[in-house]
Structure 1
Amino acid sequence: MSTEDNKHSFDTQRIHAGYHSQEHNNSVHVPIYQTAAFDLLSTERAGRLMRFEELGYTYSRMANPTLSVLEKRVAALDGATGSIALASGMAAVSYALLNAGEGGRIIAAAQIYGGTYDAYKRLYPTLGMQIDLLKNVNDLDEIRSLIKNDTKALFIESISNPVNAIADIQAIADLVHEYGIPLIVDNSIATPYLLNPFNYGADIVVYSATKALSGHGSVIGGLILESDKFNWAEGRHPQFTQKVHAYGGRSALETFPDYPFVARIRSFYLALLGATLSPFDAYLILQGIETLSERVKKQNDSALQIATYLSKHPKVAWVSHPALPGSKYKALTDKYLPKGAGGIFSFELKGKEEDMNTFIESLKLFSYHPNIGDTRSLVINAARITHHELTEEERIAIDIPLGTIRLSIGLEDVNDLIADLEQAMR
């Protein structure tokens, strides 16, 4: 991120940050660099590139100019010192946790996206990393009790999917920093428009760019961002101070002092596992980011209006939206999310599962598919789809009963959406 980007407001950065047309043949739009590799020009320059003595492009699995603009733009929005774009949100979560947790343990919030929860159980233990589940993300005593000598990081969602638990990021960050542990925050639902976790002490921020960041349901992607506040040289993370031949005998921290976390992901996990975002997908995400503020603001406003309507409906058992007056997360929402709590929330109908299925199939405007943050409004029965990997006991423990219906509110007219919900409940 350039110092020039720092001078501008959020809405200017989302359109301009990280791109100068003069560096790209005066193209107004970011070009799609659809190439596998780049000319090394000379053997001397090639050697410098391989030793990371010069930064440049060699092979698109590692870096690509279109992706670089995306990385710089999102870094500017959150004030990050470094970022890396990846092929999916799950790749971003996995690479972030693996990079931090090598040879140790991760404390991880239980109220989380179902695919991430499944990775807790089935993926990370096979790779030598243990997960200690945090039942209540805001229980500082529980967090303290889970910290061990080999604890490497704490991972949470700023707004949990699908029950909208709001994390007290500042209090959590202050606690784990006492023990030399970094805080990793998945900020996919909030997006940089609603919340900047770095402002409250987060060390690493993860995004599924598939969701509201791109905003049109047309692309899969993810990003990892870092600040330069955490001291990776302390004893819990020797992987950042270890001398590596690929870095010319230097460590990741010595080679990339401002962004060792994402640089190590790029040169190790991305290089060897290869979850590379395509240039075309990076271009689509950039297009979506240009309208981020307008989209998220409308989705946020409509979601609260619809949640309020449902909370008063006689056929609705409960509504989980953190900005509603009765929510246990209302105070945290006011603190961290003054612009609003996003366009995602959950509720349950009174009755049986068959009644829920009939309701879903009766909707006309809400599309029934497993995504969020789209321009279209979406509905899903979370227990059967997004969290089907969890046992009934696991679901109940994180407040996802069988009847949980998740709505992702789009850009349609809010009165049309309410009318559609009303007719489906008749």
Structure 2
Amino acid sequence: MANNLNFNKGTICVQGGYNPKSGEARILPIYQSTTYKYDDPDEVAALFDLKAEGHMYSRISNPTVAAFEEKINGLEGGVGALSLASGQSAVALSILNVCKNGDHIVAASTLYGGTFSLFSTTLKRFGISVTFVNPDSSEKEIFNCCNDNTRAIFGETIGNPGLNILDFEKFSKVAKKTGVPFIVDNTLATPYLCNPLKHGANIVIHSTTKYIDGHATSLGGIIVDGGNFDWKNGKYPDFTEPDLSYHGIKYAETFQNAAYIVKARVQLLRDLGPCTSPFNAFLLNLGAETLHLRMERHSYNALKLGEFLEKHEKVNWVNYPLLESHDSYLLAKKYLPKGASGILTFGVKGGIEAGKQFIRNLKLATLVVHLGDARTTVIHPASTTHRQLNEEEQLSSGVTSDLIRISVGIEDIEDIIKDFDEALKKLD
């Protein structure tokens, strides 16, 4: 496929990333090989010196993985992408690529529980501190949380499970004033519904395990480099000073606007090793081929289910960004014009015990620790995905004790609504 950027997103989903030559396999092959054959030692030496493109070892790069990376990079509009073993590894490496012992980040408080724990506990052991801010805080309040050692600002396009919509304009202004990259987790929105790079972000990450796969088959994560940050601004010596492990190469000088993604690959992926397997990359790429179709259906079904639940006598409240009652409705209209994805939350009258009974009553929707599947699923975050957080931290993340999160699938919406209606009517 020619230059991906010349095509609309639906076409990139189907055909982006893989460009077979005459006589080659039309469908992306699984290159299930750890290593690659060369004829000349100098060719391999050039690879190790980062002077030539090619694959030397599948921990660092692989043809199947590379095709998937290029597809997602094309969808996000970046200069390069790095596929990883999970969404958590994508979050971790996105930060470790710019932070070291003694550095600091500012992050929205309404983060996925695993990311919150990574930032508040694990990164602290690496000497990286974090300040969590209410995303509704003013630009001045967020800016005042930044210090001389702040090295990144982090947020999620759609908070999980609070479902607040990130104010890109506000956060990107703070990042620019501070002189640090703005990193955005775009998992719930996907590159079909939102492109953070167009709204001031510098780095975009995804848990490809979710909607990009779409079928609950494969773990994966990805980092996309926007190529729009100045790594020579004096705050990032690892990008401007010689890397002795590569004979003194200087990333910002040698790789220019792709310095971030190259460094993440050849330093962190090389040394820590959370690579995507070729088979998983094949399945993730296959899932991405229908991303545009599925996200339209997920978004449509979620809105219709939300509208139904808002009127149900057994429901206290409903939370979905494109409901006019939602606090982020105007931001959703601004940043998510094609739809607000397939996640909604609500509270059942009767509290936590009624919520548990409701889940037991469901027939079509199932209880799983996952989201973004083609099938409708539910979970109770306070007792599962966010149970490691204390009550104050849960509330800061948008999690209440009665909250039920629904990942609305692509089944017939009439069947989904019927299942929820019958489950609610069975409550005392």
Please give the root-mean-square deviation of Cα atoms over the aligned residues, in Å.
Answer: 1.3
| Matching residue of 2:68 | 70
| Matching residue of 1:346 | 345
Q: Which letter does structure 1 place at the counterpart of 2:327?
A: K
Q: What is the Cα deviation at residue 26 of structure 1?
A: 1.2
* 1:109-163 C-alpha deviation (Å, 9 max, x unpaired): 1101011111122210111211111123553122111110000000000000011
CA distance in 1, matches of 2:100, 2:357: 46
Assess if the C-alpha contact under 8 Å between 2:209 and 2:218 holds in 1.
yes
Q: Which letter does structure 2 place at the counterpart of 1:42?
A: D
Q: Which moved more, 1:140-149 or 1:185-194?
A: 140-149
Q: 5 Å matches for 1:24-423?
A: 26-103=24-101, 104-137=103-136, 139-423=138-422
Task: Provide the aligned length of Structure 1 versus Structure 2.
Answer: 424
Q: Which letter does structure 1 place at the counterpart of 2:67?
A: V
Q: Secondary structure at the match of 1:263?
A: helix
Q: What is the Cα deviation at residue 21 of structure 1?
A: 1.1
Assess if the C-alpha contact under 8 Å between 2:228 and 2:257 holds in 1.
no
Q: Secondary structure at the match of 2:399?
A: coil
TM-score, with structure 1 as normaliser? 0.97
* 1:357-401 C-alpha deviation (Å, 9 max, x unpaired): 111011011110111110100100011111111101211233311
* Structure 1: gaps spanning 5 or more residues: none
CA distance in 2, matches of 1:308, 1:193: 23
Q: What is the Cα deviation at residue 58 of structure 1?
A: 0.6
Q: Secondary structure at the match of 1:46?
A: helix
Paired-residue identity, %:
35
Q: Secondary structure at the match of 1:318?
A: strand
Assess if the C-alpha contact under 8 Å between 2:380 and 2:404 holds in 1.
yes
Q: Which letter does structure 1 place at the counterpart of 2:295?
A: V
TM-score, with structure 2 as normaliser? 0.97
Assess if the C-alpha contact under 8 Å between 2:135 and 2:166 holds in 1.
no
Q: Secondary structure at the match of 1:258?
A: helix
Q: Which letter does structure 2 place at the counterpart of 1:79?
A: G
CA distance in 2, matches of 1:363, 1:192: 31
Q: Secondary structure at the match of 1:132?
A: strand
Q: Secondary structure at the match of 2:340?
A: coil
Q: What is the Cα deviation at residue 165 of structure 1?
A: 0.5
Assess if the C-alpha contact under 8 Å between 2:161 and 2:398 holds in 1.
no
Q: Which moved more, 1:143-152 or 1:165-174?
A: 165-174
* 1:277-317 C-alpha deviation (Å, 9 max, x unpaired): 00000000110111111101001000000011111111111
Assess if the C-alpha contact under 8 Å between 2:105 and 2:130 holds in 1.
yes
Q: Secondary structure at the match of 1:401?
A: coil
Q: Which letter does structure 1 place at the counterpart of 2:333?
A: D
Assess if the C-alpha contact under 8 Å between 1:82 and 1:258 holds in 2.
no
Assess if the C-alpha contact under 8 Å between 1:109 and 1:137 holds in 2.
no
Assess if the C-alpha contact under 8 Å between 1:52 and 1:255 holds in 2.
no
